[in-house]
Amino acid sequence: MRKFLFLSVCVLFYNISFAQNINWVNRNGALKVVGGKILNSKNIEPQLRGVSLSWSIWQGKKYYNEDVVNWLQSDFNINLLRVSMAVQPDGGYLQNPAEQEELITKTIDAAIKNGLYVLIDWHDHNAHQHLAQSKEFFIKMAKRYTGKPNVIYEIFNEPEKIEWQTVKDYAIAVIQEIRKYDSKNIIVVGSPHWDQDVDVAAKDPIKGFNNIAYSFHFYASEPSHQDVLMQKADMAVTLKLPLFVTEWGVGEASGDGKFIVANADKWVAWMEKNKLSSANWNITDKNETTALLKPGASVEGKWKLDMLTPAGLYIRTQLKKLNK
């Protein structure tokens, strides 16, 4: 009987302690870039790990709410949320700026309230073609969130087939606007070829600004995203380019395809070795490999395990194990 009571108390204590949400920003403070690494206020690499919401239109739009943010923190144990604001597609920011801004700021505010770090992602493959709108948007974000160490600005998602100089010129123009209002928070710059050519950026990085990092994306089961891509990133690390894996998926680059667990394990181990922060793609119930939710998953969170896809179960397990 005593043994039973002891076990019951232990289980109760475990459940109570597990349900307590960590304020990750209180733990790490403001982030900074020093010597090619992202460090916290104690000069330690915090290695943020979390998930990315999907495009803020289509199926992904419905998960942009405080209930989902709360659940991702308490159940998935995230310390980073990526808010992927659609820009160019129908219904995105170019057509509906006020609607998109309202949707994402509510979600960002929920993440800040919970002590999470949050990536504000200008989710646009052709951001260089929308420089004026991007500058206007990030001026608003910088004014709104200056002094909030939670916020990280991601100013160009996956530049497509354009040269690094074009990406760099765009980035400098946007950085200049952000820095007028927010002098400290990290700004993540894109790299050519869907955020894969970080080795190119590493040879000619942006200078003259503090706290600049560079996005690196991969899909763990994509045949072309294996050793050659990892070697490109290794070169960037060697050249002390501060990398941030703002998006990665367990499947293929299409978002669908195979989920090869051994490949995902290899990439996770690589990120751990290099202490890289990351956001997994993505919170949606779309019927594809990288979606973390099965079709019909509640828009209020509180997902039982049978509502998670194989990708969702894998990512949830990794986050609960690694975020301590």
Nearest-angstrom CA–CA distance, 109 and 118: 9
Q: Between the CA of residue 278 and those of 13, 79, 119, 219, what are the distances in Å?
A: 30, 10, 10, 12
What is the distance between the alpha carbons of residues 28 and 23, in angstroms, rounded to a whole number? 9
| Distance of alpha carbon 218 from alpha carbon 244, whole angstroms | 11
CA distance 154 to 209: 15
Torsion of CA 168, 171, 177, 179, to 10 degrees: -90
Cβ-count burial 94-123 (b if 16+ within 10 Å, e if not): eebbeebbebbbebbbbbbebbbbbbbbbb
Residues designated catalytic:
158, 247
Where residue 29 falls (left for φ over 0; alpha for ψ -120 to 50; beta otherwise) is left
Helices marked H in the chain: 2-19, 24-28, 66-74, 97-113, 131-145, 164-179, 192-195, 198-203, 227-238, 261-274, 310-322
Query: Which residues, listed in sequence order, are joined to residue 212 by a DSSP beta bridge?
Result: 187
